[in-house]
Amino acid sequence: MTWNPTRSVHDLLNHAGCPAEPPITIARAICTCRSVPSQWDAWTVDGQYLYLRYRFGHGTVDDYDSPDSDTWDRVPEGNLACFGDCYPRRGFDGEISLADFCARAGLVLAPDAEVVSWDEYVQQPKEQQ
């Protein structure tokens, strides 16, 4: 199998014949930046925090204990999933919808997921963010 940067880790594992794990399902997502990069704080149905980011045509999904980046013990590089073109960088290609991001990363957005848009996020009082 040849490496294809536009396929998700989930797709690659399934294509390689490895046992398929249930896909990660997003229960809540908050858009914290709408473009360059597009990014979300997200939580799975099991309560696991995920950092979703798309910049320069490259998407990454990382899991951490908290949305507070000061507590992270590693740089977000896509430890759960990544997709897109790494080289050459495609300018400021950094805008993607949450639905498209999930589809390309191999994530599932729960039908009853709470999704907070960028506009809703910036209007919330800081203590609710």
> What are the φ and ψ backbone dihedral angles of 104, each rounded to 5 degrees?
-75, -30
- Return the pLDDT at 127: 60
Say if residues 49 and 65 touch (Cβ distance below 8 Å). yes
Give the mean pLDDT of 113-117.
95
> What would the two tokens of residue 6 be?
């536009």
Q: Give the residue, 56 or 48, on which the prediction is more confident.
A: 48
Tell me how far apart the alpha carbons of residues 44 and 42 are, in angstroms, rounded to a whole number.
Answer: 7
129 pLDDT more than 80: no
**Torsion of the alpha carbons at 49, 46, 31 and 84, rounded to the nearest 10:** 80
- Return the pLDDT at 55: 87
Q: What is the pLDDT of residues 10-20, one digit of tens each?
A: 444 443 333 34
Say if residues 48 and 34 touch (Cβ distance below 8 Å). no
Q: Give the residue, 4 or 95, on which the prediction is more confident.
A: 95
Q: Give the residue, 66 or 125, on which the prediction is more confident.
A: 66
Q: What is the pLDDT of residues 52-93, one digit of tens each?
A: 999 888 899 999 999 999 999 999 988 888 888 655 555 567
